[in-house]
Amino acid sequence: MSAAELWYALPLIVSVSLVYAATRYELMEFIIAHAIRTAVWLGGFMLIVTLVLWGLSAWLT
């Protein structure tokens, strides 16, 4: 799998963040703010998991 395929995660992160935030709040300003926080959290979490798996892969091979 090439690193370019990680881009498939981008539309998912955007839509999951926006929909989740929209179910938490009613006003747009809070929805956008919450969606940005969620997207950063999701992206960070996925980055950490990616780095751990990459490290494990490098260590095991």
Task: Provide the binding-site residues for other proteins, judged by CB under 8 A.
Answer: 1, 5, 8, 11-12, 14-16, 18-20, 22-31
Q: Which is nearer to other proteins, 30 or 54 (CB)?
A: 30
- The runs of H, that is alpha helices, within the chain are 9-24, 28-60
- Looking at residue 8, the DSSP 8-state letter turns out to be G
Q: Which is nearer to other proteins, 24 or 50 (CB)?
A: 24
Listed as own residue / partner, the contacts of 31-37 with beta carbons closer than 8 Å and 24 or more positions apart are none
- Using the minimum distance from each CB to other proteins, give the nearer residue, 6 or 55: 6
Query: Minimum CB separation from other proteins for residue 59, in Å?
Result: 25
**Tokens matching residue 49:** 């998991």
